[in-house]
Amino acid sequence: AAHLWPELVFLYVHYDEFDNAAQTIIAHSADAWEHASFKDIIVKASNVELYYKALRFYLNEQPLLLSDLLAVMMPRIDHTRVVSMFVKSDNIPLIKPYLVSAQATNNKAVNEAFNDLLIEEEDFVGLRNSIDNHDNFDAIGLAQRLEKHELLEFRRIAAHLYNQAKRWRQSLTLSKKDKLYKDAMTTARVSGSVEIAEDLLRYFVESGNAACFSACLFTCYDIVRSDVVMELAWRHGLANEAMPYFINLVREYQVKVDHLVEEVGELKVKVEKNAGPANAVAGPNQLMGPAGINGRLLLGHAGSANNAQPFASNLGSAHGSTPSMGGL
């Protein structure tokens, strides 16, 4: 009855018994297996364990069709379990297309398996893209592995990983060791640390690299302190290399001073304009401030006896009698 297995599968499918149909195909693949029909059946199976059984079946009998099978099963499989299965059997390269597609889920197991595969293939461009676009993996562990890699570009990726983890010192150590001075300057600038940037300047001075000293001043312009730069340039004869920095610095301060002078001038004009009408109304007989001049309240012309008598006469007239000065 061996020649009737395809018919049995057909009946299982007809009566919606997809689990039994899949098991029958796997058990009697020589007579009942056909790739297109198996893909249609397996995605309709209710028992999820059949997916992993199907993967083992394809790994043993149809390894080149694994990626095609995984593509249709992807929405329902556990990516971590699938990766673990193929890592144990050392067959990760067989499912590379699946890993590329599964990275959209940013699954840690998928990312780490794919990164390991790229390292094995020495594809540093692909590894850099994977790291930048999918961050769910052990970054420090990967950096520690890559910093000992024989290829320069992988060590450079290690420094990049340390940057992402904000381990600036370790990144700078790698970059200086490999003489990747541009990367070192970028790391110092991104760190935003005055101490790190100035330490890098001192490193260039001590190593006699005047060109990188000047380039670092440009890259880390907003971080380094001008007095430190001036001292280093003076003590080590690097005035020419530091001159572009100081020219730009002086120009920046000049712009700020000009701006301040302009603002003060506008403010002065505004104050004079607002104070002008008040000064025009105020006469010599008006109150000067809340307490007059020097804290004294003045009414009319102050202080003479000639002015006191008319004032007393007017005051007396208002009350019907004129008091004498002695009465005052």
3-class secondary-structure state, position 296: strand
pLDDT tens readout for residues 199-220: 999 999 999 999 999 999 999 9
Confidence band for 277, pLDDT divided at 50, 70 and 90: low
Tell me what pLDDT residue 272 has. 86
Q: Which residue has the higher pLDDT, 320 or 227?
A: 227
Q: What is the mean pLDDT of residues 146-165?
A: 95
User: Is residue 310 over pLDDT 70?
Assistant: no
CB atoms inside a 10 Å sphere around CB 183: 19
User: Is residue 327 over pLDDT 80?
Assistant: no
Tell me what pLDDT residue 278 has. 53
30 neighbors 3 (Cβ within 8 angstroms): no
pLDDT tens readout for residues 90-143: 999 999 999 999 999 999 999 999 999 999 999 999 999 999 999 999 999 999
Q: Which residue has the higher pLDDT, 266 or 305?
A: 266
- Percent of the chain surpassing pLDDT 90: 74
State how far the Cα of 63 lies from the Cα of 319, in Å rounded to an integer: 125
**For the chain, what is the largest distance between any 2 Cα atoms, rounded to a whole number of angstroms?**
150
Q: Strand pairing partners for 296?
A: 293
115 neighbors 89 (Cβ within 8 angstroms): no
Tell me what pLDDT residue 54 has. 94
CA angle (152 as vertex; 139, 159 as ends), nearest 5: 35
Q: What is the mean pLDDT of residues 280-296?
A: 47
Tell me what pLDDT residue 293 has. 45
The mean of the pLDDT values for the chain is 85
Tell me what pLDDT residue 8 has. 87
User: Is residue 311 over pLDDT 80?
Assistant: no
**Residue showing tokens 């730069």:** 229
Q: What is the mean pLDDT of residues 173-186?
A: 95
Tell me what pLDDT residue 320 has. 44
pLDDT tens readout for residues 226-264: 999 999 999 999 999 999 999 999 999 999 999 999 999
Tell me what pLDDT residue 319 has. 42
193 neighbors 222 (Cβ within 8 angstroms): no
Q: Which residue has the higher pLDDT, 34 or 275?
A: 34
User: Is residue 172 over pLDDT 60?
Assistant: yes
pTM score, whole prediction: 0.73
